[in-house]
Amino acid sequence: MTTQAAIFVGYFLVVFAIGWVALRATRTEADYWIAGGELGWFTGGATLAATHTSAGTFVGTIGVMYTAGWSFGWVLLSIPLAYWFMAAVLAPRFTRQRELTLPAFMETRYYGKGIRGLAAVIVLVATVVYVQAQIVAGGLIANLVFGVPLQTGMIVFTAVLLVYTVAGGMMAVVYTDAFQLVVMALGAILAVPLALRQLDGAGGLLSLVESAHPLVFSWEAMPASLLLTMGLSFFLGGIATPEKVIRLYAMKDMATIRRGVLFAIVMILAMNLLVFVLALAAIVLFPQLPTGDLAMPMVATAVLPATLGAVMLAAVTAAMMSTVDSLLIVAGSALSVDLYQNLVNPEASPATRRRVDRIGVLIVGTVPVLLLLSGVGEGELVQFIVLLFTALMAAAFAPTVVGGVLWRRATKEGAASAMIGGVATTFAWEAWGSAAIEPALPGVAVSLLLFIGVSLVTPPPPREALEPYFGPSATRAPRP
């Protein structure tokens, strides 16, 4: 067994061990879907940071910066703004009544099972789009480390994820996320100085990179409108993406949420800055790559020593796994809790619910890889697939979630029309709109207009729908 393979096998064994411990600690549905709602600031912040740091960071961000230069780095500013907004503005009212899923919040606030089902379907569709990008990246890493075909790598990557996620649910996800965050940080910290050594330090890097890519430090490589709307997409998606806001239910109180979000911001910013340096190094070291998505694997395999290269690839794998397992939990809960238990079999026994919970995660984890194996979902740069997912989530949930806890007049008709119109506009813009503007902008604009306009011309919401979020008291006990 090669050094790289041995490191990966050891990494996977640790992940499986965490999943096994989480399985034994999982007793209730609240344990399975929101880790019992008792996470501390470190585990809560670590799982937020790890969920954010995906293939979109270690593969996609480097890929875009390799192609377009440093100007893409400005979107980093949208990240702390999004997390600050989530902790300071959204969380205080959003968490007053704890739910098991984001669609369950939609039912409570917008007083209808149908809108919960609509939200669940949107989560499922968007998750398939996102998970496919991560699975492809996982297959590439498996090909580099083990020499297996891409399709075999995708299957193995998905199987590893499903084993511990199906077994331990959110309990497994948050603790594997904490471990994976350590692996990601270690990989990036080790890779940067070794890459700089190849280029005579930071000064050598800055002088050489402008020769290799004359536009690297200019604003000319990408349209300004595209850069601006990318930042807007990350901000809007960051404040309402289901796999992030559900972490607010998983942390035990507001003080914990604030500390956890601050920790996540620090870790995300540090990780992105290290990734930006690696992107510049890749421009100099590998100026003729056919696609920017190959930049990170090339740094790991051709620049770093075998052992450290394996750690770097393990960090990339950890980034992908920490995001996909979170999405599997969100999508699995949408299928099991919001669709099956809510609409099909509300009287299911606790044992049946636990069994269906795991079946739901298994199904939503299997569908994306089956679609890829059948040729559906072949994509472009990973980061642009990530942006499409972010745009869909922003269009569906930014106005309805934020507006739902800040505006009393919001109605279920307004929320339903906003979700449908926003998602439809996002898909339409992706297919036929200008490539110089990210679809999040038109998607959220249409969603917001429909949300406000339809709410104002429909009957106001009943008092019981407002009480949990605007009343003098509320409970944090999770509801099925």
Q: Exposure of 89 by Cβ count < 10 A (0-12 exposed, 13-18 middle, 19+ buried)?
A: middle
Tokens of 282: 């890749």
> What pLDDT does residue 182 have?
83
> How many Cβ atoms from other residues are within 10 Å of residue 91's Cβ?
21
Domain boundaries, the chain: 3-373
CA 222 – CA 228 distance, rounded (Å)? 10
Q: What is the pLDDT at residue 473?
A: 56
The rounded distance, in Å, linking the Cα atoms of 73 and 454 is 38
* Whole-prediction pTM: 0.85
Q: Specify the pLDDT at position 103.
A: 93
Q: How far apart are CA 344 and CA 329, in angstroms?
A: 20
Count of CB atoms within 10 A of residue 204's CB? 14
Query: What local confidence, expressed as pLDDT, does residue 88 receive?
Result: 92
**Bridge partners of residue 39, in order along the sequence:** 251
Degrees (nearest 5) of the Cα angle 328, 381, 142?
60
Residue with tokens 């990246």: 137
Length of the chain: 480
Domain 3-373 top-level CATH class? mainly alpha
Cβ count within 10 A of residue 433: 17
Virtual torsion, Cα 175, 179, 184, 190, nearest 10 deg: 170
Q: What is the largest CA-CA distance in the chain?
A: 68
pLDDT of residue 384: 61
- What is the C-alpha separation between 293 and 383, in angstroms, rounded? 9
Buried/exposed 283-301: b ≥16 CB within 10 Å, e otherwise:
bbbbeebeebbbbbbbbbb
The end-to-end CA distance of the chain, in Å, is: 47
In sequence order, what are the residues at sequence separation of 6 or more whose Cβ sits closer than 8 angstroms to the Cβ of residue 215? 69, 221
Which pLDDT tens digits describe the chain residue by residue (480 residues)? 577 778 878 877 888 788 788 877 777 778 888 888 889 999 999 988 887 876 567 776 777 788 778 787 777 778 889 999 999 999 999 999 888 899 999 999 999 899 999 999 999 888 877 777 778 777 777 777 777 888 888 888 888 878 877 877 878 888 888 887 888 788 888 888 888 888 888 888 888 888 888 877 887 777 878 888 888 888 887 887 888 888 899 998 999 999 999 999 999 888 888 888 888 888 888 888 776 667 777 777 777 777 777 777 777 777 777 777 778 888 888 888 898 888 888 888 877 887 888 888 888 888 888 877 776 555 444 556 667 888 888 999 999 999 999 999 999 999 999 999 999 999 999 889 888 888 989 999 999 999 999 999 999 999 999 999 997 755 555 555
Residue 14 and residue 164 in contact, taking contact as beta carbons nearer than 8 Å: no
Give the whole-angstrom CA distance, residue 105 versus residue 257. 18
